Amino acid sequence: MTKTLGTKRHQALIALLIEKREAIGLTQADLAAKLGEYQSFVARLESGQRRVDVIEFLELAEILGFDAVQALIAVAQAH
């Protein structure tokens, strides 16, 4: 398996998460508080320095109010 950080799909995932966060008017600090994490955790996700695991992705979808399945379909098509 190839490394995933920096791939087009990873970039699409990051762009989607940033777009959804900004669309509901949350800062990185706001999102971090809802996740029970530090702002730097969200910054590392959004800068592409850290992968998002499936469980984290589902929690992000709940908090940010998007359909996780539809989002994954969109990300999968980015190649």
Q: Which domain holds residue 13?
A: 8-76
Q: Is residue 42 part of a domain?
A: yes
> 10-42 pLDDT, tens per residue?
999 999 999 999 999 999 999 999 999 999 999
Q: CA-to-CA distance for 31 and 27, rounded, in angstroms?
A: 6
Q: Is residue 54 part of a domain?
A: yes
> 33-71 pLDDT, tens per residue?
999 999 999 999 999 999 999 999 999 999 999 999 999
**Could you tell me if 4 and 10 are in contact, meaning their C-beta atoms sit under 8 angstroms apart?**
yes
CATH code (residue 52): 1.10.260.40
Q: Is residue 24 part of a domain?
A: yes
State the total domains in the chain: 1
Q: Is residue 3 part of a domain?
A: no
Which two three-digit tokens encode residue 55? 């469980």
Q: Is residue 1 part of a domain?
A: no
Q: Say what the pLDDT of residue 49 is.
A: 93
